[in-house]
Amino acid sequence: MKSMTGFGRAAKRIGGWRITAEVRTLNHRFLDPYIRMPSQLADLEMDVRKLIFKYINRGRVELAVRLDADGIAVQKPKLNRAVLESYIRELKKLRQFGVEGSLDLATLLRLPNIFEYEEVSVGEEVKRAAMDTVELALKRVVSLRKREGAALKREFAKRCRMVRRMLSEVAKLEPQVKADAKEALFERIESLKIEGVDQARLVHEVALLLQRLDFTEEIVRLMDHAHKFDQLLKEEGPVGRKLEFILQECHREITTLANKAQSARISEIAVEIKAELEKMREQVQNIE
């Protein structure tokens, strides 16, 4: 189990360059990579994307790669002949208006756009080093995601045990809930002083009442969901969406159970269970 939030950084020096890769991952419904790299490494983007898909299954992935010069020139100046010739032509036209003066090198150098600057390209060795640096950063972010996932796993297991204990208490209360409801029905009939009650009809009504109060199925399904939740916690792959679905089903079942039971104590326990489920639901949003 892995968390979806994490950070990883790696750096390497090679051939006069310093390569730095930083990876930050955040919660997201799907795998959503966002890559920023210098133009010298632009042709590596597809390979970098494949690396991300290799190490991460779900979440927003923000990857930034920097390429800094380490004692070498990073830009190469190049004379812009077209701009220079245009300046010379226009400056010569000024003489038609009687403007005196000579056109020297110092004057030309002060004019904008005389030079273009090209970024120095990098060799295959630097590109391979960049890929290695990105992979190392990804491994580090995965390592952090695993550690956070392990902590969340322990928290989920603890809350799951709490929910199980509360469900066991609810199950123990079911016979008393039915007995109380049956007694209340007979007391109601007695208080109304109804004579000549059809016993067969009365038995039938009592049976219907007890059937409406029967929440055994909900208890069984909730216990089954808790078991499946525990099993998913032991899996290595992406389980976030499955866990989220189980929690939704648990919330639906406990709501149905509370409505059926018509018991103050069971309603209190149901509220406590829902509170635990909500805490788990918030945390499961961060699971890959």
Q: How many residues are present in the chain? A: 288
* 194, 239: one domain: yes
pLDDT for the residue numbered 96: 77
Could you tell me the pTM of the whole model? 0.71
The per-residue DSSP string of 79-141 comes to E-HHHHHHHHHHHHHHGGGT------HHHHHTSTTSEEEEEPP--HHHHHHHHHHHHHHHHHH
Q: What are phi and psi of 15, to 5 degrees?
A: 50, 40
pLDDT, block means (10 residues), the chain with 288 residues? 94 90 94 93 95 95 90 65 82 75 74 74 90 97 95 94 93 78 63 58 57 76 93 90 95 89 86 95 92
pLDDT for the residue numbered 212: 64
Q: What are phi and psi of 215, to 5 degrees?
A: -115, 25
Q: Burial, 141: exposed, middle or buried (Cβ in 10 Å; 0-12, 13-18, 19+)?
A: buried
* 129, 152: one domain: no
Which CATH number characterizes residue 134's domain?
3.30.230.70
* 87, 48: one domain: no
CA-nearest of 154, 151, 150, 164 to 228 is 164
Q: Which residues constitute the domain of residue 28?
A: 6-72+123-145
Structural domain includes residue 153: yes
Structural domain includes residue 164: yes
State the Cα–Cα distance between residues 150 and 286, nearest whole angstrom.
12
CA-nearest of 17, 19, 23, 20 to 35 is 23
Structural domain includes residue 95: yes
Structural domain includes residue 218: yes
* 136, 164: one domain: no
* 188, 231: one domain: yes
* 265, 180: one domain: yes
pLDDT for the residue numbered 78: 76
The per-residue DSSP string of 130-181 comes to HHHHHHHHHHHHHHHHHHHHHHHHHHHHHHHHHHHHHHHHHHHHHHHHHHHH
* 159, 240: one domain: yes
Say if strands 59-69 and 31-36 run parallel, antiparallel, or are unpaired.
parallel
* 141, 19: one domain: yes
Q: What are phi and psi of 198, to 5 degrees?
A: -70, 110
In the chain, the number of structural domains is 3
The answer to whether 133 and 21 are in contact (CB under 8 A) is yes
State the Cα–Cα distance between residues 146 and 137, nearest whole angstrom.
14
* 177, 273: one domain: yes
* 22, 108: one domain: no
State the Cα–Cα distance between residues 249 and 167, nearest whole angstrom.
15
Say if strands 31-36 and 17-26 run parallel, antiparallel, or are unpaired.
unpaired
* 100, 224: one domain: no
* 198, 224: one domain: yes
pLDDT for the residue numbered 176: 79
Structural domain includes residue 1: no
